Structure 1
């Protein structure tokens, strides 16, 4: 038997399942995104479903199912729940191609055409899912952390750098995203089997692979840092990257336009003229117009999965709308709170609440102050803290953003100034006083480092 080309095999696998079912004469009834038909054994009610967008079929009254056209054809023709192998597999490929009008190309250069059928390869629908509810996010993320548990290098970072022991790290639900794509897929499959639906959960995405769409986690590897709301629901994660992304930076009168990760075009900013092409291996580059070099990107990023067909992501959800805040509580209160899914007010005194930036900093600081710390990812997002604060109705908030943010006169410093000014305007009419925690930036940048150094901030009430 002549060997069929890999390209032809792939085309046969990716045939639109609805088109194939129609060619086989299956009676189809559409319900939403799925099509239903009858099983091989005979029945009065359709119980075999086809989802053409995902490229899967399932006999949900039995055990048969598959993720390509070859498995569906084999099930229909041979009444078998297994997958064809050896010469039988290649026979199924030829049959699918003949039935659907796909030209068979062989490795020896020969081909067979079928002009009696016109087939157009299916298009995968790009779908941006609305972010799931806090209840669903919490359900998925708790199962996820059992699969993506804390790796040893992150345990060491927490212990040596953050001074957080293993017991506290596990209590606070830190985890790790691994680099290996196969392991990601295996773990995601286990999560999906447990929770059922991953749509709308940031960090998870449907990805187009060699054999169709599959669910997995996306993004760089690193330590997962949880964001939980005041009802103890895990609603998002930041990732502290194992390796910071390397970005290409242009200075002077130069711009770069990326063609892919390695290659880019060099453009003169003032004229828009294309000067030339280059790649990362040639950097740094300097000329009379400016320079192009590598710079390190952000250390932290969101666990998020925006759709991007150019890299194979066809169904995902972003972290925003809204971005999460983090309720950091003392370890003792968290141990009690984890038994219940209710408001933190039921487990600790919230008469005084601290505001800050960075979930890790808040976790550490809360054990020093024994107060509730509401944290955002960055100073500019401080308004996210207004609503949970109003719900908790404290007597006072203490604003404790990084010391260098308080010192700066640029937009960061302006955000701190606006936070104090507008928080006072919003909260004081509700009987909530506003104060600010201050310390010299040469002593410590963040409040976590300040406490670790043995100091306390000076708290100044805002009249």
Structure 2
């Protein structure tokens, strides 16, 4: 695939978005890190490193060049913040948009004022020209072309873009680095939100960014929630009293999320994507990928879960008076009925309950007799990645393969397998119930280690 087919676009944070040659994606879900030459598609999950070959040389050259050749690059965050605040100070919030925020979205008057939401009027409105002049004066006439959303018309600077509700997008320092427009009249089947940009007018384009909603007293080093959309994040931060970051969409800015979380100390991260991940395979894949990446980075991560009929977004749920269930990643995967074959368990385990015979069914297969034990699992020293510690999960093995193992309660074993769910006979013996487990394919994956070492230290984590 050549650079034209990849359709490389700037994504902010030193990254580009592109079409994926593996899954045939044409909506640029593949992200490329310019400096590290790493790529990852958030649609199909493939990832790797760009290698300098004759085939990839044109792509490497296009990455080394400017993101938008011949067009001005956006100003630094400090300057954009000055320009956008001057622009918003000259605009007003229409009665229609204020009613939407307060009545439909349950925003308080104080939240509306603090959020600096404004209305972008019809293109012929003089307010656009007044706001454009103010923004240009804030950064200087020579730098105004580097403010996404400003363009020269009839010898003066004006604000371009379709009419709608302007939503400020802030960075972690509270600086307004971009503006989203919630369109008054979106096209059928099109997006409701657009970034304020003047790319088509020869000015600076807008890059997709994270939005940080940090209410007073929440702090930037404590609990952090991750959700979709700036308006949802602002409302959730206000209602929950925690810091919330928002991605423009589940397939956008994921590398920025991972970088932001990795570079700052976080005690606790909660992923709260829209509940339609229960029915949308693409959203589900992105959520599973993000949670898995956060786990591999050793973070204390949980997932906010709620029924789809209680509201699509986190803000819908909170408006109705509900609260999400905050689940451990494994419990969330079980609730989604994910096979979880991509999540491997490799580590030492203590047998916490006596082994017993059991009959289970898995993946629509016929019921089979198995050997079942309850294990307390800890990550193995030196294991690739970081397997999550699980307080108690069931280990299943075909009964005929377990004869003569001598496994007993209190033994320490080494396990290697995949997290999964199985259907197990209930206490009455007349029905089935779904339970989490670690399904191992071969008996050789389990062994009882020799107890030894100096001073009775066997090197085990228990």
What TM-score, normalized by structure 1, do the two folds share? 0.53
Aligned length: 258
Q: Post-superposition shift, 1:220?
A: 0.5
User: Hey, what's the Cα distance between the residues in 2 that align with 1:194 and 1:369?
Assistant: 35
User: Hey, what's the Cα distance between the residues in 2 that align with 1:420 and 1:174?
Assistant: 32
Q: Post-superposition shift, 1:407?
A: 3.4
Pair 1:303-2:196 in alignment: yes
Note closer, same or farther for the CA distance 1:400–1:374 as it changes in structure 2 (3 Å cut): same
Match of 2:132 among 183, 188, 195: 188
Q: Post-superposition shift, 1:178?
A: 1.1
Partner in structure 2 of residue 62 of structure 1: none
Match of 2:280 among 401, 408, 412: 408
Q: Is contact 1:239–1:301 with CA below 8 Å preserved after alignment?
A: yes
Partner in structure 2 of residue 201 of structure 1: 147
Match of 1:228 among 150, 160, 170: 170
User: Hey, what's the Cα distance between the residues in 1 that align with 2:94 and 2:268?
Assistant: 39
Match of 1:164 among 80, 87, 107: 107
- Superposition map of 1:54-453 within 5 A: 127-183=70-126, 184-196=128-140, 197-207=143-153, 209=154, 214-245=156-187, 295-306=188-199, 308=200, 313=201, 315-320=202-207, 323-330=208-215, 332-333=216-217, 348=219, 350-381=221-252, 382-409=254-281, 411-425=282-296, 427-428=297-298, 432-453=299-320
Residues 260-298 of structure 1: CA deviation (Å, up to 9, x unaligned): xxxxxxxxxxxxxxxxxxxxxxxxxxxxxxxxxxx3422
Instruction: Determine helix, strand or coil for the equivalent of 2:167.
Output: strand
User: Hey, what's the Cα distance between the residues in 1 that align with 2:220 and 2:125?
Assistant: 46
Q: Post-superposition shift, 1:404?
A: 0.3
Structure of higher CA gyration radius: 1
Instruction: Name segments (4+ residues, structure 1) moved above 6 Å.
Output: none
Instruction: Determine helix, strand or coil for the equivalent of 2:83.
Output: helix
What TM-score, normalized by structure 2, do the two folds share? 0.53
User: Hey, what's the Cα distance between the residues in 1 that align with 2:320 and 2:88?
Assistant: 32
Q: Post-superposition shift, 1:316?
A: 0.8
Q: Post-superposition shift, 1:173?
A: 1.6
Q: Post-superposition shift, 1:127?
A: 4.8
Residues 351-393 of structure 1: CA deviation (Å, up to 9, x unaligned): 2111111111011111222110011110012332122222331
Q: Is contact 2:214–2:220 with CA below 8 Å preserved after alignment?
A: no
Residues 220-245 of structure 1: CA deviation (Å, up to 9, x unaligned): 01111111111111111111111113
Q: Is contact 2:196–2:206 with CA below 8 Å preserved after alignment?
A: yes
Instruction: Determine helix, strand or coil for the equivalent of 1:350.
Output: coil
Partner in structure 1 of residue 409 of structure 2: none
Structure number with higher helix proportion: 1
Q: Where do 5+ consecutive residues of structure 2 fail to align?
A: 1-68, 330-387, 389-462
Note closer, same or farther for the CA distance 1:185–1:158 as it changes in structure 2 (3 Å cut): same
Note closer, same or farther for the CA distance 1:391–1:148 as it changes in structure 2 (3 Å cut): farther
User: Hey, what's the Cα distance between the residues in 2 that align with 1:166 and 1:198?
Assistant: 32
Q: Post-superposition shift, 1:180?
A: 3.7
Q: Post-superposition shift, 1:424?
A: 1.8
Partner in structure 1 of residue 399 of structure 2: none
- The alignment yields a C-alpha RMSD, in angstroms, of 1.9
Partner in structure 1 of residue 327 of structure 2: 460
User: Hey, what's the Cα distance between the residues in 2 that align with 1:193 and 1:137?
Assistant: 12
Per mean C-alpha deviation after superposition, the further-off stretch among 160-169 and 393-402 is: 160-169
Residues 200-256 of structure 1: CA deviation (Å, up to 9, x unaligned): 21111234x5xxx542211101111111111111111111111113xxxxxxxxxxx
Q: Where do 5+ consecutive residues of structure 1 fail to align?
A: 1-125, 246-294, 334-346
User: Hey, what's the Cα distance between the residues in 1 that align with 2:157 and 2:124?
Assistant: 11
User: Which structure is richer in relative contact order (CA contacts within 8 A, separation 6 or more)?
Assistant: 1
Instruction: Determine helix, strand or coil for the equivalent of 1:348.
Output: coil
Q: Post-superposition shift, 1:194?
A: 3.8
Per mean C-alpha deviation after superposition, the further-off stretch among 186-195 and 413-422 is: 186-195
